[in-house]
Structure 1
Amino acid sequence: MSETLTRLPPLPIQPAGVPWPTVDWPVGDAPAALKKTRFAELMQDAFAARSTPRLGETHALVIVQGGRIVHEQYGEGFGPEQTYPSWSKAKSITHALVGIATGDGRLDVMAPAVAPEWRGAGDPRGAITLDQLLRMSSGLAWVEEYLPDRPSDVIAMLFGDGKADVAGFAASAPLAQPPGAQWYYSSGTTNIVSRALARAIGAKGAAFEAFMRERLFAPIGMASPVPKFDDAGTFIGSSFCFATARDFARFGTLYLRGGVWDGRRILPEGWVDYARTPTFQQAGAAETEGRYGAHWWLDLGGPGSFSANGYDGQYTVCVPDLDMVLVRHGATPLDKKDDLKRWIGEVVDCFRAI
């Protein structure tokens, strides 16, 4: 891992004289180098109508550069006070919470994850580590399918037989591959992580939410988040944490600043680098799905960028070389997903000097 870490681009520090957005976001002008004509065309792609041919619905766009909001725009009927669904962006929030517990000495991500379903003598699942879960490499059988007319473990977990105990449902899956042998994106793995974290800190339900607010949300000024829990008291960290676009931008800024906020270390040193260190992916996986780190995706905003990606077009993209965070929310059909990814890359490129 350390050999890979040396190749990671440096993370930018907060510019001198720019206040941290713990209370209010500072606002600035777009840079002189912005490709204004192309940027305006891309905004038309997103906001010309409630639903556009290229992207479907775009509800919110916040672009932060140099610690200041340089562009903010909302679709008809949406605004800065509204909370937006995270969907799988919640996985990256789960990553942050695991980091906090790791920094406290309560978790070791390289150790086997604690799951009662795997305690039987000789159960090979007992060797699965938190690192393998965070890197979507547990080997557990899973079908991550979002169309309701097809077999889907994620739909069953969130809305069907597994909804009362999402972690128990996911952890009951058999092994399809040896742990660590193959990358496969699975929302179930995150909820196993979420329950393991809850057990490590001795809190679930309301007590776990208090931990989220005290250790992560409140220190960086995130006042809006609404996390969701199942009947067993497990944070549904795979999918459900609503927040304003500006608060998602605060979360992205925390990662862009290496886990430090206004002089206070929130995430342990090296935790952000851990998130953006590439995971082994078998041939074809990265080309089809995109490169992956540890509960963060890679390269959406260009080489060296990393992002929290969610179903239906929810994105928080950190771009170190531009000192940028881009947040987009909307309702983009699956058949337009690749168009939206290209659009995000094109928007980011508008800020790059020719």
Structure 2
Amino acid sequence: MKEIPITILFIFLKENQNSIKANFMKRIKISRRILYLFFLGLVLFIVIYAWPRIPIITGFAAKGMCSGVFVGHRSQESVSSRELSFFPISLARTTIHPEDSSVTATVFGLAKRKAVYRRGLGCTLLTDIPEEKVKAQAIPLPPPPFDPDTIAWPLGSLLPNTLPAGVNYEELNRVLHAAIDAPGSEQVKKTLAVAIVYNNMLIGEAYAPGIDKNTPLPGWSMTKSILSTLVGMRVADHKLSIHEPAPVPEWKNDDRSNITLSSLLHMTSGLKWDENYFDISDATKMLYVYGDMYRYAISRPVAYPPDSVWYYSSGTSNILSGIIRNTFGNNRAYLTYPYVRLFYRTGMLHTTLETDASGTFVGSSYSYATARDWARFGLLYLHRGIFAGDTVLSPGWVSYTLREAPHSNGAYGAQWWLNHNNKLPDVPADTYFCDGFQGQRIFVIPSRNLVVVRLGWSMKNFNFNKFLKEIISTLPEG
């Protein structure tokens, strides 16, 4: 009985073998077509979407590693496991070349980019300007006029033996160390350094493993606030006027001729701009494709009348940086100006302002400083431009900086952020701050005589409002 079904099956297969074979071949053809379409789609994805973005990924990695190693004096592992650890930047592989102080980066061996370190100028990504020309820009900076180890804080490094009374230091230290992920634990807070200055005194600081008080860390867009300070100084030097049309020759005969320096400072220039750090945008093209960032930024057309719309734009900051450069008669005077006029006078001796490949400071994004130096910068503004008795910046400029930019809803001043919109609800309304990519912050709180610095490589799991509230709670009632 068992042989009958087998016999029937054999007869069925023999009589229908042509039909079965045809169906089988048809299925193979369909599978081949699906596989072909899949690979075609993959190729199109790589060509149209992924490939144009890979040079931005490798550019970010090469520049970040170069600055981290040669400016920040950190190890390759320290930088790659932190600032370069997020996707898609984590796809890049970097190689350090100590022989010429450079770094190269690739993704799967492709889209190789190179960044070079130059003395006095920091690191620069090579783009459309020859490497030899970029390297030739290196300059020796003038030495600081004092030894910080012999001078008291804040200008120097000597800290007093006593601290301000009334502070709950035990709780303050708990808050600061809670902001730092413990060694060997899951990296959640992703904080590299915190520093607290109260009543002019450094009352607390904490650092992640491998980072200390002498480690320069990236400020990203906190650089904009340094840039605003330099503009204020050039105004005081009678080289610039904020209410006159911006001195950009290329704008004289078109609608951009009505853009003022104040419009640029307030992010209300009306220039067409796309500020997106995670895709191909004006911001990423400026930072990772073009060697002369000022030239790229001034080429943008008008989208809105000046002062009619607020839009955050790193391009306008680099326009300001180029304008500052054009007020100097020679490159050396320009390149040493931030150090002689600002950094040395405020004790910021571990601060570097980096240039692009054309030699213009990247006022939108590229500066490195220690947590203590960033705190010193905050102190300069806390005391309205006066630092340790020295009027470094006009108090009037500080007042201008903190006026609300048109149409910013109380969130922005002149390259500084404000808390007028209550974004930090448990923090005094007079708080203002520098704000950089990946959670870099300097908070200045005049009503509490307080400066708070937080530096890190992410802010996803870091609650700034809670952090500041807890710090303020440790201080005497003010």
Q: TM-score, normalised by structure 1?
A: 0.83
- The verdict on how the C-alpha distance between 1:315 and 1:31 changes in structure 2, with shifts beyond 3 A counting, is farther
Matched with 2:264 is 133
**SS in structure 2 opposite 1:248?**
helix
1:142 corresponds, among 257, 273, 279, to 273
Structure 1 unaligned segments of length 5 or more: list them. Answer: 1-17
Letter in 1 for 2:371: A
Aligned residues: 320
- Alpha-carbon deviations, 1:153-187, whole Å to 9, x = none? 11111112x2x111111111111111100111011
Describe the shift of the 1:131–1:77 C-alpha distance in structure 2 as closer, same or farther (beyond 3 A).
same
Contact persistence 1:137–1:181 (CA under 8 A):
yes
Shift of 1:21: 1.3
Per the alignment, residue 6 of structure 1 pairs with none
Equivalent position amino acid for 1:138 in 2: S
Helix, strand or coil at the partner of 1:270: helix
Q: 1:340 aligns with which of 457, 463, 473?
A: 463
Do 1:298 and 1:305's aligned partners in 2 also have CA atoms closer than 8 Å?
A: yes
Cα deviations across residues 89-110 of structure 1 (Å, max 9, x unaligned)? 1100011111111111111011
1:324-346, CA deviations, whole angstroms, 9 ceiling, x for partnerless residues?
1111111115x44xx43334433
Whole-angstrom distance in 1 between the partners of 2:186 and 2:449? 29
Corresponding position of 1:3: none
Structure with greater Cα Rg: 2
Give CA-to-partner distance per residue, 1:304-335, whole Å, 9 cap, x none.
011111101111111101111111111115x4
CA distance in structure 2 between the partners assigned to 1:137 and 1:172 by the alignment = 16
- Determine the C-alpha separation between the residues in 1 that align with 2:167 and 2:341: 38
1:226 to 334, 348, 352: 352
2:46 maps to 1:46 = no
Superposed displacement of residue 303, structure 1: 0.8
Measure the CA separation in 2 of the matches of 1:213 and 1:36. 37
Of structures 1 and 2, the one scoring higher in RCO (CA 8 A, sep 6+) is 1
Q: Does structure 1 residue 296 correspond to structure 2 residue 416?
A: yes
State the Cα deviation string for residues 7-42 of structure 1 (Å, max 9, x = none). Answer: xxxxxxxxxxx9651112535546535495587256
* Paired position in structure 2 for 1:78: 211
Equivalent AA in structure 2 for residue 137 of structure 1: T
User: Is the 8 Å Cα contact of residues 354 and 362 (structure 2) preserved in structure 1?
Assistant: yes
Q: Cα RMSD over matched residues?
A: 2.4
Specify whether residues 79 and 325 from structure 1 end up closer, same or farther in structure 2 by C-alpha distance, changes over 3 A only: same
Distance 1:77 1:42, change over 3 A: closer
Paired residue for 2:473? 350
What's the counterpart of residue 155 of structure 1? Answer: 284
CA gap of 1:343–1:24, structure 2 versus 1, over 3 A, is same
**1:137–1:179 CA contact under 8 A, matched in 2:** yes
Deviation at 1:142, TM superposition (A): 0.9
C-alpha deviation, 1:234, in angstroms: 1.0
Determine which structure has the larger helix proportion and give its number. 2
Structure 1 consecutive aligned stretches of length 4 or more whose deviation exceeds 6 Å: none
Q: Does 1:211 align with 2:340?
A: no
The answer to whether the 8 Å contact 2:176/2:206 transfers is no
Q: Deviations over 1:208-240 (max 9, x none)?
A: 221111111111111111111112221101011
**Does the 8 A contact of 2:175 with 2:470 survive in 1?**
no
Q: Does the CA-based 8 Å contact 1:54-1:340 persist in structure 2?
A: no
Please tell me whether the aligned partners of residues 175 and 467 of structure 2 are also in contact (alpha carbons under 8 angstroms): no
Equivalent residues of 2:371, 2:455 under 8 A apart: yes
Match for 2:407 among 281, 284, 288?
281
Write out aligned runs for 1:7-26 (5 A): 21-24=154-157, 26=159
The one-letter amino acid of 2:464's match is: K
Q: Secondary structure at the match of 1:112?
A: coil
Cross-structure match for 1:183: 310
In the superposition, the TM-score normalised over structure 2's length comes to: 0.63
User: In the TM superposition, what is the alpha-carbon distance from 1:268 to its structure 2 partner?
Assistant: 1.6
Q: What's the offset of the Cα at 1:64? A: 0.4
* Cα offset, 1:281, TM superposition: 2.1
Measured after TM superposition, the shift of residue 275 of structure 1 is 1.1
C-alpha separation between the residues in 2 aligned to 1:210 and 1:42? 35
Are 1:32 and 2:32 counterparts? Answer: no
Paired letter, 1:129: T
Matched to 1:143, the amino acid is D
Higher mean alpha-carbon deviation, 176-185 vs 206-215, is at: 206-215
Name whichever of 273-282 and 97-106 sits farther off. Answer: 273-282
Identity %: 35
The alignment partner of 1:253 has SS state of: helix
Deviations 1:125-170 (A, max 9, x none): 11111101111110111111111xx33211111112x2x1111111
CA distance in 1, matches of 2:164, 2:434: 24
Deviation at 1:352, TM superposition (A): 5.2
Q: Which residue of 2 aligns with 1:166?
A: 293
Deviation at 1:116, TM superposition (A): 3.0
